[in-house]
Amino acid sequence: MIKPGPVGIDVSSDSLVVAIDWGKGPRQCEFDNNAAGHRRLCRFLTKGGRRVRVCLESTGIYSLDVSLALYRTAGIEVMVANPRATRDFGRANFQRSKTDGTDAVMLLEFVKRMPFQPWQPPPQEIFDLRAISRRITALTVAVTQESSRLHAAQRQSELTDAIAEDIQRHLDHLTASMESLTKEAVQIIRNGPQLSTKYDLLLSVKGIAVTSAVRILAELAVLPADMSPRQWVAHAGLDPVHCESGTSVHKRSHISKTGNKHLRAALYMPALVAVQRDPNVKAFYDKLISSGKRPLQAYVAVMRKLLHSIHGMFASTQDFKGDKFYALAA
C-alpha cells in the first residue's frame, strides 16, 4: 500500500497556507479559510485518489471547521498538534523566521518525522450543545429588540393596541422557546458526566447562573483538552494588544477581539455580577480602578482572570475559590 503523502497546513483567520511534498520536493499553495475554501482544499488533496496525512495546529475557532472538513473526507487523515509541541520542534530544527509559509513547511516536516496521532473531533452532542446555546443567544437579542418595540408602541398614540398585542405574543413565544432550548441544553449536559461536572463547577462562581454556564461551557467544550489558559484567552479575543510606533504613537492598549465572540460575550455579564457579589473579585476590580484603569478595562481584566480561573477549576475539579482569584488585603 502506498504511504499517505505528508501535508502541513498553517491556519489563520482568513487563509490556509498548505505545504505538500509528494516526491518532488516541498511546494506551497493557499486556500481561503471558509467553507468553500475547505471544499476546494479537500478536492485538491484527494485528487486522483490520493491519500494524505495532514498536520495542523490547534488554534481553536480558526482550525476547528477545517479540521472537521478534512476529517470527514475519505483519504485524509488528520493530526491536530499542540502548538507548544510544534514550536519546540521548530526550535530544535533551527527555525528562526516565522511566517505562514515557514510554519506550513515546519508542520510538513513535523508530520513526516513525528509519530502520527489521529485527531478525533468532539462528539456530536458537543456541537448540538453549542448550536442550541447560540440559538438561545440569538433569541435573547430578539427579545431585547421586541421589548424595545413594545415600549415604543405603548407610548405612541397613533399605533393601535393590536400592534402592542402582536409584539407581546411574539415576546411570549420567544421566551417559551428560550426556556425550552435551555432545558434541552441542560439535559445534554447532564447526560455527559464530564460536561455535568464542569457545569456544576461553573455554577460555583458568583455571577454565573444557568444561562451563562450553558453559554460558556458550550464554547469551551469544543476546544482541545490540552489548550493552556493563555490560549483560551487568545481564543476568546481577550488578549491585550499594545500599539506603539516610534516616539510619537502611544495608543491605549485594547483587546484583540480576534477570536470567539460568543465566548467573549458569554463572560461579560458574569464579570459584572461577580464584581458586585464576590468580595475577592470586587477587590481585584477596585485595585484596577484605583491604578487608573477605566471601568470597561477593569471588567475586561475580570473576564480574562475568570477564564484563567475556570481553566484551573476544570483541571482540578474544584469549585471557584475567591482567594485564589485575588487575595484580600490582611
DSSP string, 246-260: TTTEEEEEEE---S-
| Whole-angstrom distance, CA of residue 44 vs CA of residue 247 | 48
H or E stretch covering 28: strand 27-32
The domain spans of the chain are 5-113, 124-219, 224-245+252-325
The order of strands in the sheet holding 5-11 is 27-32, 15-20, 5-11, 52-57, 76-81
- Looking at residue 180, its pLDDT comes to 98
Contact 208, 270 (CB under 8 A): yes
Dig out the grid coordinates for 173 from the structure: 413565544
Q: Is 282 exposed, middle or buried (0-12, 13-18, 19+ CB in 10 A)?
A: middle
- Looking at residue 236, its pLDDT comes to 86
- Looking at residue 224, its pLDDT comes to 80
| Whole-angstrom distance, CA of residue 315 vs CA of residue 313 | 5
Give the three-class secondary structure for 242: strand
Question: Does the domain made of 5-113 have the CATH classification 3.40.50.920?
Answer: no
- How many separate helices (H) and strands (E) can be counted in the chain? 13, 7
Return per-residue pLDDT of the chain as tens, 330 residues.
Answer: 567 899 999 998 889 999 998 877 788 999 999 999 999 999 999 999 999 999 998 766 678 889 999 999 999 999 998 777 787 888 877 655 555 468 899 999 999 999 999 998 989 999 999 999 999 999 999 999 999 988 887 777 666 778 888 999 999 999 999 999 999 999 999 999 999 999 999 999 999 999 999 999 999 998 888 788 988 888 888 877 644 444 444 455 555 556 788 999 999 999 999 999 999 999 999 999 999 999 999 999 999 999 999 999 999 999 999 999 999 876
Provide, for the chain, the percentages of residues in helix, strand and coil under a 3-state DSSP scheme, each rounded to the nearest 5.
60, 15, 30
Dig out the grid coordinates for 18 from the structure: 498548505
- Looking at residue 125, its pLDDT comes to 94
| Whole-angstrom distance, CA of residue 89 vs CA of residue 85 | 6
Contact 122, 222 (CB under 8 A): yes
Q: In which region does residue 257 sit, left (phi positive, over 0), alpha (psi from -120 to 50) or beta (all else)?
A: left
214, amino acid identity: V
